Amino acid sequence: MAVMPIPMPSPWFLLLLFLPYTSDSTSAPDVDLDNIINNAGGDTSDLFSDTQNTEAVDEAHVVVLTATNFSSFLATHRHVMVDFYVPWCYWSRKLAPEYAAAASHMVKKGLDVALAKVNFSQNNQLARAHDVLGSPIVHFFIGGVPRGYHYYGERTK
């Protein structure tokens, strides 16, 4: 049985390693990073914080549910939409003001739909019982039974 030799790439690319590196100084001016960092002033503790506008959200009409009041709330309300969220999630925070606005809208219109939320980082067993694997997940309950509406669109009102 003949042994096939392994093809080797030609060594022309190794010549690139020996070429001198030159940078075009006109494309990027020299920046003294030490000077910028030392003279930035102000508080740098929030250097990596989320810089988006975090306006106050009126969640007066959004009911906070936990494992202790979840079943009783669903039993007393025919139509309930529940947002399973985690507070650190970007998409959960993005949904929060829209969800609160929708809850206020439902109350103003007198609709028989309650909007609630569950922090599933604090209520893991409740989230697992409803197959919540990520955030935010919104379930719609009719008569205490979850309805399988799948929504893949924008998270806006």
What are the chain's domains?
A: 62-147 (3.40.30.10)
Contact present, 64 and 116 (Cβ < 8 Å)? yes
The arithmetic mean of pLDDT across residues 81-103, rounded, is 90
Residue 111 to residue 139: CA distance in whole angstroms: 18
pLDDT digits (tens, 9 = 90+) for 4-62: 666 665 555 555 556 565 555 555 555 566 665 566 655 555 444 444 445 566 778 89
Residue 36 to residue 29: CA distance in whole angstroms: 14
3-state secondary structure of 142: strand
pLDDT digits (tens, 9 = 90+) for 115-129: 999 998 898 898 888
Q: Is the pTM of this model over 0.85?
A: no
3-state secondary structure of 20: coil
Cα Rg, the chain, nearest whole Å: 28
DSSP 67: T
Taking CA atoms, 40 is separated from 33, 43, 47, 51, 81, in Å, by 10, 9, 11, 17, 47
The amino acid sitting at 128 is R
